[in-house]
Every structure is written in C-alpha cells, then in structure tokens.
Amino acid sequence: MTSPKRPRATPENLTVEVADLVEMIGRSRAWLFAVLKAQGVRSVERGRYRLADVLAAITAHYEALAEQQRGRLATNAKMNDLRAAEIEMRIKAKMAELVPMADLAEAITFVKGIVFEHLDLLEPRLQAIAGPGVDIGELLAGVRSRIDGAEDQGLELARTGIDPTDPDVKRSRRAKR
C-alpha cells in the first residue's frame, strides 16, 4: 500500500510551529501572538502558522511603527519650527527696544560736550578757590581724560554687551590670546 503523498511545500503553504517562529525572529511568544492577533492571522493547525502570513503580519507591524515614528518626527519638527519662530520674534522685539549705536554715540558726545563746557566755566572759580599753588587746569585735564575713557568703555559695552571694566572679562581676554 502506498502512503498518501504530501503536497509539495511552497512559500504559500509552508507552515511553521510557534516555537520555531519565536526562535527565528528572536522575540517572545507574547509579542508574536500580539502581532498575529493585531494583524488578524489565524493558525492553520494548533501551534502552526503559514510562514507567509506571519512574515506579512510582522512587516505590517513594523511599517505601522515606522509610520507612527514619522508622524512623531513631523510633529516634533513643527514644534521646533514654532519655537524657533517664537524665539526669533522675541529677539526682534528686544532688538527694537535697543538704542541704535549711532544715536547712543551722538547722545554721549552731546552730554560730554555739556560737561566739558561746564568744566571750562568752573575752572577760573576753582582756581581762585584753590589758590596759586594748585594747578586746576591739570586736575581738570585728568577729569576730562577719565570722562573720555568712560565714554569709550560705555560705547564698547553698548556695542558688544561686554563690560570692559569687569575683571573676569579681562582675565578671559588674556586667556584667549
């Protein structure tokens, strides 16, 4: 008596046991069953599944995960764009509050001119008070020099935002050289 012939295994009808599937894909039985259930794959026999159906289910599962990730990345990119636009608007608003350098330099020069004019007017009075032994002109020249230095420092601070009189700044400038 001849035994019935088994149908030839083709990719469409090849079945695999769950234990072999778990070993092949390197995931747990629970994960495999969850994917198969989510994709609607049914067993051919108890504990056996068509390999083509399993592979299609796993592929669909990973494609869905990739699509979710792309959606998250797109959302994150949009959020980053919105944050960047908001920061840019804040910077523009802050810049609008700043005094332009030319206007600042002009105002400082104007005020310095008034102060120097008053010093010139005060010089004869101060000399009379100090007496002949004191050179008020030399003292006032030192005052003018300090005012000029303060003007330079103020303009540097306004231009760079760095206080040139700060000892930490001086140390860091020396360190960079």
Question: Could you say which of 66, 88, 110 is where a domain stops?
Answer: 88
β strands within 34-159, DSSP E:
48-50
Report the C-alpha gap between 126 and 137 in whole angstroms: 9
Within-domain flag for 138: yes
Shared domain check, 72 and 19: yes
Nearest to 54 by CA among 67, 43, 64: 43
How crowded is the C-beta side of 35, counted as CA atoms within 13 Å?
24
Number of domains in the chain: 2
Over pLDDT 70: what percentage of the chain? 84
Question: Could you say which of 88, 123, 138 is where a domain stops?
Answer: 88
Question: Could you say which of 27, 59, 88 is where a domain stops?
Answer: 88
Over pLDDT 90: what percentage of the chain? 35
Write down the pTM of the prediction.
0.43
Within-domain flag for 21: yes
How many C-beta atoms surround the C-beta of residue 49 within 10 A?
A: 23
Q: What backbone torsions phi and psi does residue 50 show, to the nearest 5 degrees?
A: -70, 130
Shared domain check, 126 and 82: no
Shared domain check, 107 and 46: no
Shared domain check, 145 and 111: yes
Domain membership of residue 19 as a residue range? 15-88
57 pLDDT above the threshold of 90:
yes
User: Please, which residues have CB within 8 angstroms of residue 44's CB and are 6 or more apart in sequence?
Assistant: 15, 50
Assign 65 to helix, strand or coil.
Answer: helix
Q: What's the pLDDT score for residue 103?
A: 79
Shared domain check, 32 and 83: yes
Shared domain check, 84 and 49: yes
Report the C-alpha gap between 38 and 18 in whole angstroms: 16
Q: How confident is the model at residue 168 (pLDDT cuts 50, 70, 90)?
A: confident
Shared domain check, 73 and 23: yes
Within-domain flag for 119: yes
User: Please, which residues have CB within 8 angstroms of residue 99's CB and are 6 or more apart in sequence?
Assistant: 107, 158
Shared domain check, 114 and 51: no
How many C-beta atoms surround the C-beta of residue 136 within 10 A?
A: 18
Within-domain flag for 1: no
pLDDT digits (tens, 9 = 90+) for 76-134: 999 999 999 889 888 877 776 666 777 778 888 899 899 999 989 988 988 888 888 88
Within-domain flag for 72: yes
Give the alpha-carbon dihedral of 136, 137, 141, 146, to 10 degrees. Answer: 20
Q: How confident is the model at residue 56 (pLDDT cuts 50, 70, 90)?
A: very high
Shared domain check, 106 and 81: no
Averaging pLDDT over each range in 98-107, 136-145, 157-166, which range is the top one? 136-145
Q: What's the pLDDT score for residue 62?
A: 92
Nearest to 94 by CA among 104, 86, 103, 105: 86
